[in-house]
Structure 1
Amino acid sequence: MAKAIRSIKKQVPDKHQEQADALADIVTALADNRDAIMTTMDILKNLHEMGALHAISAALQKRNDIGYIAVQQIDQPGMHNIIKNAMNTMKFLGSVNADELQKLLNGVSNGFTNMNESIEKNEERSLWQLSKTMRTPEAKAAIGSMTAFMQGLGEGFLDKKHSDH
């Protein structure tokens, strides 16, 4: 028959053994992730060389003061408008068809190019030349687009006016 267990001795590792185990785990992790650690070290070196780490450290030490100043700046009426305008701009850009916006921006770019060429040549156009230009397909397309734009803009203004009442 087996002998009865009367006492259990719990083995508690000493401090030196715990440190040795922890160090072995760290060395293993370093070896397993060598590429990532070397890349991180390069990033830290570059940040240190350009002074960014010092700036980040100083900002972290003064984080309460910086936070207080930031909240004061954000709490000004002008900032409220900037934040609202930014949100409305993002909402607007999200609602615009990307292809239509690209077409418009290309047209604006071409218009600036033509305008600058005309300014550089110091061209003076007579009323007769202007009226001939207004009959070109490009000018008709631009004028038609602008009148359609103004009509839509006016509808937007009238809808807002009616919804306010």
Structure 2
Amino acid sequence: MAKAIRRINKEVPNQQEEQAEAVADILKELAENREAIMKSLAILKGLNDMRVLETAHALLDQRTEVAAIAIQQINQPGMHNVIKNGMGAVGFLGTLQPDQLNTILDGLGNGLKRLSKTGEKGKKQTIWTMRRRLRSPEIRAAMTTMVDFLEGMGEVFLENREKQKG
């Protein structure tokens, strides 16, 4: 019969063996990811040439002072309005259907193109020419849209006025 095992010898590698194994693992990963490492080094070199790394290092060294200045700037009343307005704008954009927004932005872009062309030509329009142009379907569509826009905006203004009174 075999003897019972009463003592287990656990081999603990010494520090030199652990370091050698770690270096071998790192070299293996470097060899397997050579292209990615080379690209990363090129990016780092470019950032270093532009002194971005130096700036980032200085920001990290002075992070408490930088954070204090940032918090002071954010705590100004004007910045509160910017943040609230930004949130409101994002909320507003969330209420629009993408097709609606595209139509509005396309129309705005086309109108601005026409505006710049008119400004370059510098032609004066007579009252009779303006009256004739008001009959065009494009002008009528734009005027109808603007009147509907003003009517909707007026409704909200009146509702808000009633809420403030009540």
Would you call these one fold, judging by a TM-score over 0.5? yes
**Structure 2 CA distance, aligned partners of 1:103 and 1:4?**
86
Where 1:9 maps in the other structure, the secondary structure is coil
Q: Which amino acid aligns with 2:2?
A: A
**Structure 2 CA distance, aligned partners of 1:29 and 1:153?**
63
**Structure 2 CA distance, aligned partners of 1:18 and 1:58?**
35
Gap regions ≥5 residues in structure 2: none
1:40 is matched with: 40
1:2 is matched with: 2
Residues 22 and 113 (structure 1 numbering): CA distance in 2 closer, same or farther, change over 3 Å? Answer: closer
1:37 is displaced (CA, Å) by 2.0
1:77 is matched with: 77
**Structure 2 CA distance, aligned partners of 1:145 and 1:103?**
12
Q: Which amino acid aligns with 1:133?
A: R
**Structure 1 CA distance, aligned partners of 2:66 and 2:128?**
64
**Structure 2 CA distance, aligned partners of 1:22 and 1:115?**
68
Matches of residues 9-88 of structure 1 in structure 2 within 5 Å? 9-88=9-88
Whether 1:157 and 2:162 are equivalent positions in the alignment is no
**Structure 1 CA distance, aligned partners of 2:29 and 2:22?**
11
**Structure 2 CA distance, aligned partners of 1:39 and 1:91?**
40
How big is each residue's C-alpha offset from its partner over 1:16-42, in whole Å with a ceiling of 9 and x where there is no partner?
111111111211222232232222222
**Structure 1 CA distance, aligned partners of 2:77 and 2:121?**
47
Where 2:9 maps in the other structure, the secondary structure is coil
1:110 is displaced (CA, Å) by 2.2
Equivalent pairs counted in the alignment come to 165
In terms of mean alpha carbon deviation, does 130-139 or 32-41 score higher? Answer: 32-41
**Structure 2 CA distance, aligned partners of 1:108 and 1:2?**
93
In terms of mean alpha carbon deviation, does 90-99 or 32-41 score higher? Answer: 32-41
**Structure 2 CA distance, aligned partners of 1:85 and 1:137?**
36
What TM-score results when the alignment is normalised by the length of structure 2?
0.89
1:4 is displaced (CA, Å) by 4.5
1:129 is displaced (CA, Å) by 1.5
Residues 3 and 157 (structure 1 numbering): CA distance in 2 closer, same or farther, change over 3 Å? Answer: same
1:6 is displaced (CA, Å) by 4.8
Residues 85 and 3 (structure 1 numbering): CA distance in 2 closer, same or farther, change over 3 Å? Answer: same
In terms of mean alpha carbon deviation, does 17-26 or 78-87 score higher? Answer: 17-26
Q: Which amino acid aligns with 2:86?
A: A
1:102 is matched with: 102
**Structure 2 CA distance, aligned partners of 1:47 and 1:23?**
27
Gap regions ≥5 residues in structure 1: none
Percent identity among equivalent residues? Answer: 44
